[in-house]
Amino acid sequence: MKSILVTGGAGYIGSHTVVSLIESGYQPVIVDTLENSLPSALQGIAEITNTTIPFYQVDVSDKNSLKEVFAKHPLEGVIHFAAWKAVGESVAEPLKYYHNNIQGLVVLLEVMREFGVQDIVFSSSCTVYGQPDSLPVGENAPLKQAESPYGFTKQVGEQILSDYHTANKESGIVLLRYFNPIGAHPSSAIGELPLGTPNNLVPFITQTAAGIRQQLTVFGSDYNTPDGTCIRDYIHVCDLADAHVKALEWLSNNPKKIDVFNVGTGRGNTVLEVISAFEKASGQKLNYSIGERRAGDVEQVFADNAKATSELKWKAKYSLEDCLLHAWQWQEKLKEA
């Protein structure tokens, strides 16, 4: 059973990936500061998998503490999620993002090299594409100037890993460029748990439907899209989690390589389509209004995922309505708690 370190493993995508790893026969080891997540995610993982996962409350930029974790476990790979991720906050606090997202990766790679751990799957983002010149966007599309320090840290992270591979030919690296993860585990034991006001559309939808938020504002209705609202590629978090397991398998079959894969459904949906699908899936009428455009929003982006389908042998299984139903069931469980 391969031991895999999951940094940020108590977070939204991290916790679902830990479940996928266990179900695929891996032994995850979690490090997380719990600054942007809650211990309840660890309880949810245990509930779904009926197993207790080794957990360390460690910051990846704390080299000595990280080395202690590596010394305790014979790790064979790393999945690196640990990073700050709010676009607006990154504009207000850029140094916080550069320290955690960039310095944290550098320290992690230094410790991996010291302990002879070669394989890493990196959590990147479709933000590296900006507004693509053509759609769907493939992995060879040019990377645009980042709209935020957060987006820039993902570009820098990819460059660091590319340079690291050039200097360390024994390493194996997969860069996964996520599109828009939504939904929750079908069991409702884990899901998206934004601390404070949500930055993402779907938790704002579910919190509005649950009465936590008074109203949802749709930012802009005059974009060049079928209904005037922005288009994104929404992918179920469990499908995204499975892509990380497939990436580890790819590294086993393609040692010492580095490659990049889009992880999206290959189709785009407008904001109004998401709202309509939520109302249909949940049976809830949503209180929303149309507002002004939001600075920094890309008009439309969705993935060309042919490469992940053919090389990783991965494909999204869940529909948009599945995603939104699971997100609503998760919200309902939180309300009962």
Q: Tell me the domains of the chain and their CATH numbers.
A: 3-184+233-265+302-316 (3.40.50.720)
pLDDT at 196: 82
Catalytic residue among 97, 150, 164, 318: 150
Q: Is the pLDDT of residue 307 over 90?
A: yes
CB burial of residue 140 (10 Å; 0-12, 13-18, 19+): exposed
**Assessment of whether the complete model's pTM goes beyond 0.95:** yes
Paired residues of 77 in beta bridges:
4
**Residue 232, SS3?**
strand
pLDDT at 249: 98
pLDDT at 197: 83
Q: Is 223 a catalytic residue?
A: no
To the nearest 10 degrees (0 to 180), the angle between helices 271-282 and 320-336 is 60
Two tokens at 143? 């990377």
pLDDT at 156: 97
Give dist(CA 80, CA 100) in Å, integer. 12
Pairing verdict, β 3-7 and 216-219: unpaired
- Rg, C-alpha atoms of the chain: 19
- Percent of all residues in the chain with a pLDDT value above 90, rounded to a whole number: 91
Paired residues of 321 in beta bridges:
none
Segment 105-146, tens digit of pLDDT: 999 999 999 999 999 999 999 999 988 999 999 999 999 988
Segment 239-294, tens digit of pLDDT: 999 999 999 999 999 999 999 999 999 999 999 999 999 999 999 999 999 999 98
Residues of 67-101 as b/e, b for ≥16 C-beta within 10 angstroms? eebbeeeebbbbbbbbbbbbbebbeeeeeebbebb
Pairing verdict, β 231-232 and 172-178: unpaired
Q: Is the pLDDT of residue 15 over 80?
A: yes
Segment 74-111, tens digit of pLDDT: 999 999 999 998 888 899 999 999 999 999 999 999 99
